[in-house]
Amino acid sequence: MNRPAPLGEDRLPLSGVRVMVTRARSQARELVEKIEALGGEAYVFPLLKMVPPADTGPLDDAIARLDAFDWVMFTSVNGVRFFLERMRQLGVSPDRMTARVAAVGPKTAAELDKHGWTADVIPSDYVAEGMLAALRGRLAPGQRVLLPRADIARKTLPDELRRMGLQVTEVDAYETVIDGEGALEAAERLRRGEIDAIAFTSSSTVQHFMQVMAPYGLDGLLASVRIACIGPVTAKTAKRLGLPVHAVAREYTVDGLLQALTANLGGDVHGTHI
In this prediction, residue 273 carries a pLDDT of: 39
Which of these three, 175, 190, 225, is where a domain ends? 175
Encoded amino acid at 26, one letter: S
Query: For the chain, what percent of residues have pLDDT higher than 70?
Result: 93
User: What residue spans of 91-224 are helical by DSSP H?
Assistant: 106-114, 128-135, 156-163, 183-191, 203-213
**63, 92 Cβ separation under 8 angstroms:** yes
> Is the domain of 91 the same as that of 185?
no
Identity of the highest mean pLDDT range in 8-22, 120-134, 164-178: 164-178
> Is the domain of 138 the same as that of 201?
no
User: What residue spans of the chain are helical by DSSP H?
Assistant: 28-37, 57-64, 77-90, 106-114, 128-135, 156-163, 183-191, 203-213, 232-240, 254-264
In this prediction, residue 10 carries a pLDDT of: 58
> Is the domain of 139 the same as that of 221?
no
> Is the domain of 109 the same as that of 122?
yes
pTM: 0.68
> Is the domain of 42 the same as that of 57?
no
68 lies in some domain: yes
**Average pLDDT, rounded, for the chain:** 88
Q: Which of the pair, 155 or 196, is modelled with greater confidence? A: 196
26 lies in some domain: yes
How far is it, in rounded angstroms, from Cα 67 to Cα 53?
22
| Res. 138: pLDDT tops 70 | yes
* Distances, alpha carbon 49 to alpha carbons 58, 83, 107, 179, 231, in Å: 21, 16, 19, 6, 21
Domains of the chain: total: 2
> Is the domain of 196 the same as that of 146?
no
How far is it, in rounded angstroms, from Cα 178 to Cα 11?
37
Sorted by sequence, the CB contacts under 8 Å of residue 78 that are 6+ apart come out as 27, 50, 150, 173, 174
In this prediction, residue 252 carries a pLDDT of: 84
- HSE-up of 40 (CA within 13 Å, CB side)? 31
Do β-strands 272-273 and 247-248 pair in parallel, antiparallel, or remain unpaired?
Answer: antiparallel
> Is the domain of 108 the same as that of 205?
no
**47, 119 Cβ separation under 8 angstroms:** no
> Is the domain of 57 the same as that of 144?
yes
> Is the domain of 195 the same as that of 207?
yes
Q: Which domain holds residue 236?
A: 18-47+179-273
Q: pLDDT band at 126, cuts 50/70/90?
A: low
> Is the domain of 203 the same as that of 147?
no
| Res. 131: pLDDT tops 80 | yes
3 lies in some domain: no
Strand partners, 42: 19
